[in-house]
């Protein structure tokens, strides 16, 4: 049956646009593909293909390639020759290698589905997929998100459910067109401040992680749907605590002075700091106090502010208050806090 279909396709020659060989128990890529240069769609899912062969390199007009549910172990360099490809389905394989060179020619790729594989990393070169709009890497073993992924300026949907992610890079703020972000069942403890810059984000699902608070400004996102069940969110359950005296290190005192002088545009400090790169590196880690607005280095007091979720969010049923992470520079400022701001206590 498979041979008969291929013969029919070969008779069409350059006029053959679609080849579908689903579930035919094929154990290798058909060697005759190089005789079908006009092919637009190649569907080989649900077979037993272990490797993408060199014959794929002739399919420069291919738009859709489906190799889902096969036995592939890598995304090979030969993929770069598919310069017209828009949709690539590689779900349900055993892929654990991603050749960085594969990204070189896939400038028109819009959709990439890598669900249910064994990937532990994604190359930084993924940033070359300039047209990518939809990326799904659910049910893999990713431990981190490459910063390069955060420069896919056309990315609208990113799915990273059921991986082993610990954190999300601050550079996610550059995904200005992102509308849907799914991070279900990972090991994420903290969401980056940059998440609050995603002005087009409409759906966020972080269920089943280890998140306790959200970055300041999180409540200003224009979300339509937000799901966070299965996280250890801080609860508004005040307890009394002993207040300690402020005791800053000499570096902290000096850094605070320099940063606040720079904020006031002191010309002498601005000139001198240029000659001390080590100091510049230290103060580049500075934060602003949520109460007084002055700069500091050491997180003196981590607090949480409880705010109600926006009424237009579709949210997890048990979410009544959103705990926002805020930083305060001293107990003096802590004593000037608002009624919904609390220090984080170990009880």
pLDDT profile of the chain (347 residues), mean per 10: 51 75 93 90 97 92 98 96 98 96 95 98 95 98 96 98 97 97 98 96 97 94 96 78 72 88 88 87 87 85 89 87 90 86 73
For 173, the 3-state DSSP assignment is helix
For 251, the 3-state DSSP assignment is helix
DSSP state letter for 60:
T
Tokens of 293: 């607005």
Q: What are the structural domains, with CATH classification, of the chain? A: 1-227 (3.80.10.10), 250-343 (no CATH)
**Nearest Cα to Cα of residue 323 among 256, 228, 225:** 228
CA distance 184 to 204: 9
**CA 255 centroid distance within chain:** 33
pLDDT for residue 166: 96
Long-range CB pairs of 168-176, under 8 A, 24+ apart, other chains included: 168/192, 168/195, 169/144, 169/145, 169/194, 170/194, 171/147, 172/145, 172/198, 173/197, 173/198, 174/150, 175/150, 176/200
pLDDT for residue 280: 86
pLDDT for residue 130: 96
E-strand ranges in the chain read 18-20, 41-43, 64-66, 74-75, 87-89, 97-98, 111-113, 134-136, 157-159, 180-182, 203-205, 214-215, 225-227, 287-288, 295-296, 301-307, 314-315, 322-328, 341-343
Q: What are phi and psi of 287, to 5 degrees?
A: -120, 165
Q: 317, exposed or middle or buried, with CB in 10 Å at 0-12, 13-18, 19+?
A: exposed
125 HSE (CA, 13 A, CB side): 13
pLDDT for residue 260: 87
CA distance 10 to 280: 66
Residues 306 and 321: beta-carbon distance below 8 Å = yes
The CA-CA-CA angle for residues 134, 137, 141, to 5°, reads 165
Model pTM score: 0.88
**Nearest Cα to Cα of residue 114 among 169, 159, 77, 156:** 159
pLDDT for residue 344: 78
Show Cβ contacts of residue 287 under 8 Å, excluding neighbours closer than 6 positions: 295, 296, 297, 299, 327
């Amino acid at each position: 049956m498979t041979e008969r279909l291929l013969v029919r396709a070969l008779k069409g020659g350059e006029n053959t646009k679609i080849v579908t060989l689903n579930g035919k128990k094929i154990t290798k890529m058909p060697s005759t593909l190089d005789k079908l240069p006009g092919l637009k769609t190649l569907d080989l899912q649900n077979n037993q293909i272990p490797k993408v062969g060199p014959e794929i390199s002739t399919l420069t007009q291919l738009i859709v390639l489906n190799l889902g549910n096969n036995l592939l172990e890598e995304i090979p360099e030969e993929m770069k020759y598919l310069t017209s490809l828009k949709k690539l389905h590689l779900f349900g394989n055993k892929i654990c290698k991603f050749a960085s060179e594969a990204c070189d020619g896939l400038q028109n790729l819009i959709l990439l589905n890598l669900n249910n594989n064994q990937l532990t990393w994604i190359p930084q070169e993924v940033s070359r997929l300039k047209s990518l709009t939809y990326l799904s890497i659910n049910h893999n073993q990713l431990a981190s998100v490459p910063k390069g992924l955060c420069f896919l300026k056309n990315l609208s949907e990113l799915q990273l459910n059921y991986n082993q992610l610990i954190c999300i890079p601050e550079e996610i703020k550059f995904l200005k067109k992102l509308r849907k972000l799914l991070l279900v069942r990972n090991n994420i403890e903290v969401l980056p401040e940059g998440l609050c810059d995603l002005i087009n984000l409409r759906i966020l699902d972080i269920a089943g992680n280890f998140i306790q608070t959200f970055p300041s400004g999180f409540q200003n996102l224009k979300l339509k749907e937000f799901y966070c069940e299965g996280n250890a969110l801080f609860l508004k359950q005040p307890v009394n605590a002993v207040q300690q005296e402020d005791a800053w290190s000499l570096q902290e005192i000096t850094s605070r002075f320099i940063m606040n002088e720079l904020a006031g545009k002191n010309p002498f400090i601005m000139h001198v700091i240029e000659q001390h790169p080590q100091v510049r590196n230290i103060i580049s880690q500075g934060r602003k106090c949520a109460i007084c607005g002055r700069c500091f280095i050491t997180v003196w007091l981590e607090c949480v502010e409880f705010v109600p979720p926006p009424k237009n969010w579709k949210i997890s049923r048990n979410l009544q208050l959103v705990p926002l992470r805020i930083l305060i520079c001293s107990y003096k400022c802590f004593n000037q806090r608002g009624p919904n701001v609390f220090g984080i206590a170990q009880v």
